[in-house]
Structure 1
Amino acid sequence: MPSRKPKSLSRWSLPLLVTLTLSGCSLFGGEEDVVVMDPVPQAQTQFAAKTLWKRSVGDGVGNYYSQLAPVIADERLFAAARDGQVVALDKQDGQVLWKQDLSDLPVNDNRRSPRLSGGLTASYEHLFVGSENGVLYCLSQETGELVWQTEVAGEILAAPAVDDGKVVVNTSAGRLFALDAEDGHLLWTASDDLPKLTLRGVSRPVITSGGVLYGRADGRLNVLLLENGQLAHLAKVANPSGSTELDRMVDVDAAPLVLGNELFAIAYNGELVAQKLISGDELWKRRYASYQDLAFGLIDLVLTDSKGHVYSVDRSNGRERWANNQLSYRNVTAPVVFGDYVLVGDGEGYLYWLSDTDGQIVAMQQYDSDGLYVPPLVDGDTLYLQTRSGDLVALQRP
């Protein structure tokens, strides 16, 4: 059985459900699969991206749920592994600038590993990364030395947000914490009630216009004042409905997307909604279900839904531009827009290049049979791809 496990019988993760059923196990104790992964699509590859360099980042994240994605600050690329390895690389040639092993720190003496999962975020010359142990680490971008560490209630499964001298983390316990970016002391906290059943994941908070935006497990979107954590606005993204607890799961795990004065959000078993950022007035809504972050191009929003289907939607009115259904249940990552292409990875390590015009797969290549779990990081004409087994690959745009 895979190593991603629910914390209790009342808390399942969607990535867990997909993994269990695809490995021949059933939620209901039977031998028959509930869903079946589509085979690798047959596509005529029109080009191959050039590999600039490849490095190893510890043992990666293995089969665990993780959103541990690399980040860039200036000329440095930062990446981490679940077991506590954090590295800084020159983004041009992959030269290792420093390494830090957080498993050596005293806070981890009585634990199996640091279990890094939420991050990375680079800001204020610091690097922030959270863990399933409820520890937020702050490192120096220059040297990798530990600046401070703070424990909070709940697992940190999403990257923190940093602005105005504050670090905001969202935890699996339904609590949001704001910490001082310089020393990690607690500034304020906010709490939400959790439904009986939730996905294993939380919304990455977003800071904009003096507010903190984040999705909740009950289908709502909160806007808090960054200064003190007071509730400024509460928006509904999805209404629980259905005859079972699974049907009524409406987690808003995707990070809110702010473009100008407009806000976009999506829920699992819910809808994709567009609202005015300040007033909260609804512009449009469409029936899509996802727990992955949205991407955007010049005129569209791009999403991967809970079945692994990829969609492009006109962000001015919500009308569907195209859909690609070739990757059903392949544990598809969130999408990114890269020039004229939409890129997604899958659970068998394939990276797919979809035409932004019609959604057709124009190129594909396998980078790690253990799988891809986060989308590529786009930096100009270069892509940085991190795999489950810990490989970090720099690719040049064709």
Structure 2
Amino acid sequence: MRTRAQTRLFNCMVLLAVAVWSGSGAADDAGWTTFHGNSGLTGILDVELPDKPVQLWKTRVGESVDSAPVISGGFVCFTTSDGMVGVLDRKGEVVWRKSFSETNDSLKASPLVSGDKLVAGSMRGRLHSFNLRTGEPGWEYDTGQPIWGTPNQLVIGEEKESAIIVLTQPDGVIHCVNQVTGELKWKSEGIGRADTYPSVGAAKIVFGSCVSALHVLAADSGKQLVAVELGENSQVAAGAALDGNLCWVGSRSGALVCADIDTGRIIWQNIDGKEEMFTTPAI
């Protein structure tokens, strides 16, 4: 018997496979536009799942797909480790794809769907935009540092300007660019190595780092508002799920932490885990 529920899935790839294979159309309607679903990285989607999912198609797109695809409007968007970015339709047919293999570039993170654009970051530090439907190249922004994590999107300023943010891995700097033009709006101060990706909500940006802390930045300026110290051996290498003023994150110590991003206070932590927790929680 099929049930309809808010299905929490810790693996984005599994959800996409089920959503596409089920043929329900629900995933197309809601969209799964960035890694872990939405700007808050909550990992949740209201979708009808069959009791026994079956494979409808399989498409070879490149050498290695190191990150989960994202979906929007019936399109399945992907990146590959050998420098490919592209879009399939819901039948698995290639709509378009572009290769950066000539520049020896690699794309390790999931892309982002933002309006009519597909945005992807590369290991050479470039943020590329494309028309989602046609693949026509748009703006390009050079961060100067490798991009390991998925970009995210937000609205900034009194004029509600659409913007894209991306975190560079070696220095822990957030770059914020205009969604339409790719023009730099602001760049945050570096906090050191950050093997993760930012979440967005309530005019704030949240991400963890290798200095065992959560960092909360103002969306309009990139200024750090709060740093939540997580304790010894609590480096973060995954996203922080964000809902309102609360966020949830795992760490190298195996602890799962719930923190208040307004005050910087840790609400609770679960230390049942004995191994590294380098995955993004779903809430």
Tell me how far apart the structure 1 counterparts of residues 55 and 8 of structure 2 sit (CA, whole Å): 15
Q: Which residue matches 2:259?
A: 354
- Cα gap change, 1:159/1:341 in structure 2, threshold over 3 Å: closer, same or farther? same
SS in 1 for 2:57: strand
Q: Which residue matches 1:298?
A: 202
- How does 1:302-313 map onto structure 2 within 5 Å? 302-313=206-217
| Deviation at residue 236 of structure 1 after TM alignment | 1.6
Pair 1:253 & 2:148 matched: yes
| Deviation at residue 213 of structure 1 after TM alignment | 0.6
Pair 1:275 & 2:148 matched: no
Measured against aligned partners, the alpha-carbon deviations of 1:110-144 in whole angstroms (never above 9, x if no partner) come to xxxxxxx945334635799xxxxxxxxxxx93241
| Deviation at residue 272 of structure 1 after TM alignment | 0.8
Pair 1:216 & 2:122 matched: yes
Which residue of 215, 219, 238 maps to 1:315? 219
The number of residues matched between the two structures is: 246
Which residue of 140, 144, 150 maps to 1:234? 140
- How does 1:198-213 map onto structure 2 within 5 Å? 202-213=108-119
- Cα gap change, 1:196/1:276 in structure 2, threshold over 3 Å: closer, same or farther? closer
- Cα gap change, 1:366/1:357 in structure 2, threshold over 3 Å: closer, same or farther? same
Answer whether contact 1:323 1:359 (CA < 8 A) is retained: yes
| Deviation at residue 221 of structure 1 after TM alignment | 0.5
- Cα gap change, 1:78/1:144 in structure 2, threshold over 3 Å: closer, same or farther? farther
Tell me how far apart the structure 2 counterparts of residues 197 and 213 of structure 1 sit (CA, whole Å): 15
Tell me how far apart the structure 1 counterparts of residues 102 and 124 of structure 2 sit (CA, whole Å): 7
Q: Which moved more, 1:211-220 or 1:258-267?
A: 258-267
| Deviation at residue 327 of structure 1 after TM alignment | 4.1
Q: TM-score, with normalisation over the residues of structure 1?
A: 0.55
Residue 137 of structure 2 aligns to which amino acid in structure 1? L
SS in 2 for 1:148: coil
Q: Which residue matches 1:155?
A: 64
- Cα gap change, 1:350/1:197 in structure 2, threshold over 3 Å: closer, same or farther? farther
SS in 2 for 1:324: strand
Answer whether contact 1:265 1:273 (CA < 8 A) is retained: yes
SS in 2 for 1:120: helix
Tell me how far apart the structure 1 counterparts of residues 99 and 92 of structure 2 sit (CA, whole Å): 19
Measured against aligned partners, the alpha-carbon deviations of 1:209-258 in whole angstroms (never above 9, x if no partner) come to 22111111111101011222221111122x2xxxxxxxxxx321222111
| Deviation at residue 294 of structure 1 after TM alignment | 0.8
Q: TM-score, with normalisation over the residues of structure 2?
A: 0.76
- Identical amino acids, percent of aligned pairs: 17
- Cα gap change, 1:118/1:211 in structure 2, threshold over 3 Å: closer, same or farther? same
In the alignment, structure 2 segments of 5+ residues that lack a partner are: 33-47, 156-161
- How does 1:67-78 map onto structure 2 within 5 Å? 75=5, 77=7
- How does 1:12-161 map onto structure 2 within 5 Å? 75=5, 77=7, 79=9, 118=13, 120-121=15-16, 122=19, 124-125=25-26, 141-142=49-50, 143-161=52-70
CA RMSD after TM alignment: 2.9
Q: Which residue matches 1:285?
A: 187
- Cα gap change, 1:347/1:196 in structure 2, threshold over 3 Å: closer, same or farther? farther
Answer whether contact 2:233 2:253 (CA < 8 A) is retained: no
Q: Which moved more, 1:293-302 or 1:365-374?
A: 365-374
SS in 2 for 1:212: strand
- Cα gap change, 1:299/1:76 in structure 2, threshold over 3 Å: closer, same or farther? closer
In the alignment, structure 1 segments of 5+ residues that lack a partner are: 1-72, 82-116, 129-139, 240-249, 379-398
Pair 1:186 & 2:81 matched: no
